[in-house]
Amino acid sequence: MRESGLIVVACQGGSGLSFGTATMPRPPPWDDNNKISEGAPMSKIEWRVDNGTHIVVRNPTFSRRKVELNGQPVDGEWDAKRFDFKLADGRAADIELKSDGLSRQTELRVAGKLIPDARFVPKDLRCPACKAEIQLLDEFCSKCGHELGAPERFVYQGSVQGATSAIRLLAALFAIFGVIMFFVMGDQTDAALKNLSQFEDHEILQPIDGVTYTAGELRTRVVWEHRGVLIVNLMLSAIMLVLAWWSRWKALPAILIATAIYVAVQVVSAIVDPQTIAQGIIIKVVVIAVLVKGIKGALSLRTENG
């Protein structure tokens, strides 16, 4: 049997079954039937606020930034990266350029509400309950009264979808890595078993890491080390697939668990082979950033829905 001590097992990581370091590219933005999957170029960002309001910010490389409302340039001045203007119906709007160490964002607010840009919003907006046509700024369906939430929900949904795609990709990578490593390690295992074949099962061998094994025990370990790579990676792949499926209903707990597993896998890989700490570090950071963004998005959606 096996005890359940964190301390014990964690310290044994160096001699336990190993698993692979998964690396993956950043997932594409939310891709649904009626979504725009290609990101808007940084030089042009557009918002479809409602049927009669289409706003575009153009940022040409060698000239001044321009704001267009329904194809017409808007008069006004940029003041500390902020542009205030009024829509045709008199609603106050502002565009603000925000940046931190990692990213730049251009935010549009209409009557104080953050409006997600066209990358995040489906072209054909429908009420999820009755399928009636709705507008981006609607917080309730005007036909059935279904609560829709604030417009920024589309940004959060995009983050959650990105995290779910990352989990699916991790599932695929674990499976592929497991199969490849199983075949790559085959020769090493055969060589080790060939060396051990000169000993009888009951013969006691030199201690390894301070522990004494019989030849039979060591043979079993070598065989299981080989099978273990495949079993562990397929198991991780299956867990990730289940989490990706579960995230359709319960995004927050699913992404939390997937993140915890991914980070733990990196730690185990680092213990087994310290060189893996530096391998693909940027991609690892990107994966974790996508997952954390998904957690934040799922948390905001959950909070919004009570």
Q: Which is nearer to another protein, 191 or 208 (CB)?
A: 208
Integer Rg of the chain from CA: 27
Smallest distance from another protein to CB 239, Å: 7
Helix (H, G, I), strand (E, B) or coil at 200: coil
Shortest approach of another protein to residue 57 CB, angstroms?
26
Asked if 212 is part of the footprint of another protein (rule: CB under 8 A), the reply reads yes
**Interacting positions 252-291 with another protein (CB under 8 A):** 252-253, 256-257, 260-261, 263-264, 267-268, 270-271, 274
Instruction: Collect contacts of 145-153 with beta carbons under 8 A, ≥24 apart.
Output: 147/305, 149/301, 149/304, 149/305, 150/113, 150/114, 150/304, 151/113, 151/114, 151/115, 151/116, 151/121, 152/113, 152/114, 152/115, 152/116, 152/300, 153/300, 153/301, 153/304
Interface stretch with another protein, choices 7-15, 38-46, 99-107, 188-196 (CB under 8 A): 7-15
Buried-state track 7-24, b at ≥16 Cβ within 10 A, e below 16: eeeeeebeeebbbbbbbb
Contact between 86 and another protein by CB under 8 A: the answer reads: no
Distance CA(188)–CA(16), nearest Å, equals: 17
Tell the burial category of 25 from Cβ atoms under 10 Å away from its Cβ (0-12, 13-18, 19+): exposed
Examine residue 60 and tell whether it contacts another protein (CB under 8 A): no
Q: Nearest approach, Cβ of 208 to another protein (angstroms)?
A: 8
When asked if residue 1 is in the footprint of another protein (CB under 8 A), the reply is: yes
- For residue 39, the minimal CB distance to another protein (Å) is 26
Single out the residue of 36, 69, 125, 137 in contact with another protein (rule: CB under 8 A).
137
Task: State yes or no: residue 186 binds another protein (CB under 8 A).
Answer: no
With CB under 8 A as the contact rule, which of the stretches 36-44, 190-198, 226-234, 278-286 interacts with another protein? 226-234
Minimum gap (Å) between residue 299 Cβ and another protein: 6
Core vs surface per residue 60-77: b (16+ CB within 10 A) or e = eeeeeeebebeeeebeee
User: Could you identify the residue written with the tokens 């964190």?
Assistant: 6
Least Å from the CB of residue 185 to another protein: 16
Stretch that binds another protein, among 32-40, 65-73, 158-166, 227-235 (CB under 8 A): 227-235
CA 249 to chain centre: 16
* Of positions 6, 80, 102, 278, contacts another protein by CB under 8 A: 6
Q: What angle do CA 110, 114, 117 make, to 5 degrees?
A: 95
Which residues are within 8 A (CB) of 267 and not within 5 positions of it... i.e. 6 or more apart? 13
Amino acid at the residue 9: V
**Which of 180, 239, 286, 289 touches another protein (CB under 8 A)?**
239
Told to check if 230 binds another protein by CB under 8 A, we report: no
49 near 137, Cβ under 8 Å?
yes
Under the rule (CB under 8 A), what is the footprint of another protein? 1-17, 19, 134-135, 137-145, 147, 209-212, 217, 220-221, 223-224, 228, 231-232, 235-236, 239, 250, 252-253, 256-257, 260-261, 263-264, 267-268, 270-271, 274, 295-296, 299-300, 303-304, 306
